[in-house]
Amino acid sequence: MLDVKSINTFYGLSHILFDLSITVSKGEVVGLLGRNGAGKSTTMRSIMGLTPPKEGSVIFKGEDVTGVKPFRLFRKGIGYVPDDRRVFADLSVDDNLEIVYKQDTTWNKDRVYELFPALAEIKTRRAGHLSGGEQQMLTIARALMGSPELLLLDEPTEGLAPLIVRNLEEQILKLRDAGISILLSEQNVRSALKIITRAYVIDIGRIRFHGTVAELDANEEIKKKYLMV
């Protein structure tokens, strides 16, 4: 599904990602775990063509999409939920979904509301008035309107109350059950471990570990050094 091959990404002269490689297979939920400033968002931005890598490549379903613009990737089937939960604050929940609707797709508003009943209840409310958890739900719902085969979720649980986090975990698992492959970045390792099958641990722009959840769980050194759990 996704093959990130040895990318090097810079902000100006600052070298941020170093020969970073990640793969996501069809139907997988893969974690990108790391501390504050480790390079998780930069990895997502590199994949989405927002901060294209200077070296290396991003392959999506066999096609080289390195540096391709975000709206084109959306059309090709990559959904992206950035870390800033940017909703159209002046639009209603319903219009936030309507505005990105593309025809001939497997997802539409009805199906999205079925997955997020709580959103259906507040569909006429202005997005700017929603709580953090509701806004997160809306940004994920909006990404679904593009009928993504791959979804990039950048720290979806950040700043949310424990109960809301648990809700979100269940919804992410439903997305997986619907056949969507997911790359999930998290600092909240405890939450991530409940839903991912494989993990990459990133620190200062380098992958320090990759393996199954069981392998990570058994690796005290990696957990202590890079994840503080």
Q: Give whichever of 27 and 37 is closer to ligand ATP, judged by the CB atom.
A: 37
Phi-psi region of 53 (alpha: psi -120 to 50; beta: other; left: phi over 0): beta
- Which residues, including other chains, have CB under 8 Å from residue 161's CB and lie 6 or more apart? 133
| Single-letter residue type at 197 | T
128 binds ligand ATP (CB under 6 A): no
83 binds Mg ion (CB under 5 A): yes
Residue 36: which of ligand ATP, Mg ion, none does it interact with, CB under 5 to 8 A by kind? Answer: ligand ATP
Contacts 24+ apart (CB under 8 A), 96-104: 96/127, 96/138, 96/142, 97/138, 97/141, 97/142, 97/145, 100/74, 100/142, 100/145, 100/146, 101/145, 102/75, 102/145, 102/146, 102/147
Residue 152 Cβ vs ligand ATP, minimum distance, rounded to whole Å: 12
Residue 227 Cβ vs ligand ATP, minimum distance, rounded to whole Å: 12
42 binds ligand ATP (CB under 6 A): yes
83 binds ligand ATP (CB under 6 A): yes
Q: Give whichever of 14 and 124 is closer to ligand ATP, judged by the CB atom.
A: 14
Which spans of this chain sit near Mg ion (rule: CB under 5 A)? 40-41, 83
Which spans of this chain sit near ligand ATP (rule: CB under 6 A)? 11, 14, 16, 34, 36-42, 83, 155, 187
